[in-house]
Chain A
Amino acid sequence: MTAPTVAAPRLLPWLLRVHRPALYVWTGLLVLLGGTLLWLWGPLTDAAAEAWRQYNACATGGVCRYDQDAILRYKDVYLYASFAVLAVPFLVAAWAGGALTGRELEHGTAQLAWSQGISPARWLTAKLAVPAALVGAGTGLLVLLHHLTWSAGRSRVDNTKSWFSTETFYANGPLVVALALAGLAAGALAGLLLRRSLAALGAAAVAVAALWTALRFALPHLWPTATGVSGLDGGPGYPGLLVDQGLVTATGAHIDNPGCGSTATAECRELFDRLDAVGYYTDYHPASHYWPLQLTATGAVLAAAALMTLIAFRLLRRRTADKGAAR
């Protein structure tokens, strides 16, 4: 045939040119949020630690002088930064649905690319691979900074969030990176399915919200729990992520807690006696379950992302006359 195309299309310059605004926004977001986390990690943690030192040195009774503002600023900035990290999957999904595929199919620029010599499958591969690398690296960096910041505060700042509080758990590990990648896949798929920018933007954000909701229900059951037993007098305690709680009977059976209250009252003691209860049990995840939980959940979310990616490729192949098409 004539003019054999030896050279491969230069996809990266094309992609960066077409999605330049997104690249700028993503860089800006990383700088802003990364800078905030560094500020929190350094000066704000130091100031809050110093304020707690002042507070803990105060004598009981009398006036206590300590820098309360530093403690509150630390708490606020930490929460805002955590929520900002958690917003990344939604932003990625909305962008992917709206701009990456939805707008391209709505305005026909996807078809323009396909008639410029790159196959639809190659187009989608490039459109997923380059953003996935940038989103993965960027979100990974944010998560790392968040984790380092949280670790730095844990031993010095008394109001550092516990490892299992929702926003800290999600923003502290690879799970949010997986969610961001799932958001990318969900957005790309929504754009291909709906072929309209705005609809795909909304659908992708809703898809991430649904995935997250499902994850929140499933998460405690992704790893076997530890069980602690405590006496009736002390009341139940849970030194970690609580999963289930109730009463233990003399035979060792776990039954529901009738919610009577403390054994100090005669009625409750009578009720517990009737139920043959000897103590409280607590199913929970101790701190040592942090990584198993993070990694299994990350794996599950990545599997969902891979499934959505597969569906997107199948859909594109079936719709266009691409090689290896189903029909």
Chain B
Amino acid sequence: MTDTALEAAALGKRFRRRWALRDCTFRLPAGRVCAVVGPNGAGKSTLLALAAGLLAPEDGTVTVLGTDPASARARVGYVAQDKPLYPQLTVAETLRTGADLNPGRWDAAAAERIAAGGDLDPKARVRSLSGGQRTRVALALALAKRPELLLLDEPMADLDPLARHELMGVLMVQAAQHGTTIVMSSHVVAELEGSCDHLLLIGDGRVRLAGEIDDLLAAHTRVSGPAQGSLGDHTVVESRTTGRQLTALIRPTGPLSDDWRASMPTLEELVLAHLRNPDAPALTPTQTPSPAESGSGAASGSASGSESESEETRA
């Protein structure tokens, strides 16, 4: 058993001319609950489909549970964004299909428990279900095969707050009881805050931030001070001047001078600052120091004076 659930190295996928994902490198340790965050069209779905073995990469490699996605297929659960299910089957038939396709792994009791939580009639046709009920059935299919890695693309998008809370609870129990690594994407940061301990921020097909959320927050500081103040060698992600006041989100490279009032940013501030400033250097933990990774951040403009963009954030 490997301690890495998901690892990408210079992973890239192109659809016709457009790169949906490019030069994507990160490592997700096993047992984490990872949020894949980014605006619509950032490449989140592409990344998850690549990890699920539904798409072939153009460049680089993706390693899933220590092997290639095709070999890991039986041990990976995946729920696509639009929760595809056979509309003509009933809920019971859909779950029976899962049992047929996953002999030896299928946990029928878990499937029924998750489906039953939504007051679902087992004889109801899938096409007659509401969005939330569909999500429930899709999650039941993915969870009952007892995956070691669960990939969820916008799982909570069409759920009401109550169902969202409840299903998130189901997922957290799964993660806690079985040590399942969960990767879920969303464009709403607040949806994932509190449930996730790892973050992968994708913007414009590239990894912008990757790492443990606590480490990422600790690596950044929110500062405010006089507009003419100098931020020295610190990496500036975003800075704004209002009158004579300057506020900035920085990655300190050393002790701050006393001119600045410092505070810890929230996760949402961190994400938004990086998305608003595409030129800000990426922060991804390097596994092996390689020259390929230093090119991934495009240090240009006012964003950074230093080249120290690939910093080690985790011990």
**Is B truly associated with A?**
yes
A residues apposed to B, CB below 8 Å: 1-11, 13-14, 17-18, 20-21, 107-109, 111-119, 318-323, 325, 327
Q: Does B241 contact A (CB under 8 A)?
A: no
Annotate B39-70 by CB proximity to A: 1 below 8 A, 0 otherwise: 00000000001101111110000100000111
- A117 touches which of B54, B68, B74, B88 (Cβ 8 Å): B74
A contact residues around B76 at 8 Å (CB): 115
Q: Does B80 contact A (CB under 8 A)?
A: yes
Q: Does B188 contact A (CB under 8 A)?
A: no
A contact residues around B1 at 8 Å (CB): 1-2
Residues of B within 8 A of A (CB-CB), count: 44
Q: Does B154 contact A (CB under 8 A)?
A: no
Annotate B117-132 by CB proximity to A: 1 below 8 A, 0 otherwise: 0000000000000000
Q: Are B103 and A322 in contact (CB under 8 A)?
A: no
C-alpha spacing A279/B85, complex, angstroms: 71
Q: Does B93 contact A (CB under 8 A)?
A: yes
- A17 touches which of B97, B104, B145 (Cβ 8 Å): B97
Q: A115-B52, A116-B101, A116-B141 are in contact. Are A18 and B71 (CB under 8 A)?
A: no
Q: Are A321 and B103 in contact (CB under 8 A)?
A: no
- A108 touches which of B55, B80, B93 (Cβ 8 Å): B80
Q: Are A5 and B103 in contact (CB under 8 A)?
A: yes
- B73 touches which of A17, A108, A117, A325 (Cβ 8 Å): A117
C-alpha spacing A113/B62, complex, angstroms: 21
- A14 touches which of B57, B101, B104, B148 (Cβ 8 Å): B101
Q: Are B100 and A9 in contact (CB under 8 A)?
A: yes
Q: Does B14 contact A (CB under 8 A)?
A: no
Q: Are B68 and A321 in contact (CB under 8 A)?
A: yes
A contact residues around B98 at 8 Å (CB): 116
**How far apart are B96's CB and chain A's nearest CB, in angstroms?**
8
A contact residues around B49 at 8 Å (CB): 111
A contact residues around B75 at 8 Å (CB): 1-2
B contact residues around A3 at 8 Å (CB): 104-105, 146
Q: Are A112 and B100 in contact (CB under 8 A)?
A: no
A contact residues around B68 at 8 Å (CB): 321, 323
**How far apart are B103's CB and chain A's nearest CB, in angstroms?**
4
B contact residues around A5 at 8 Å (CB): 74, 102-105
Q: Are B101 and A113 in contact (CB under 8 A)?
A: yes
Q: Are B145 and A116 in contact (CB under 8 A)?
A: yes
Q: Are B97 and A321 in contact (CB under 8 A)?
A: no
B contact residues around A327 at 8 Å (CB): 56
Q: Does B89 contact A (CB under 8 A)?
A: yes
- B102 touches which of A1, A108, A117, A322 (Cβ 8 Å): A117
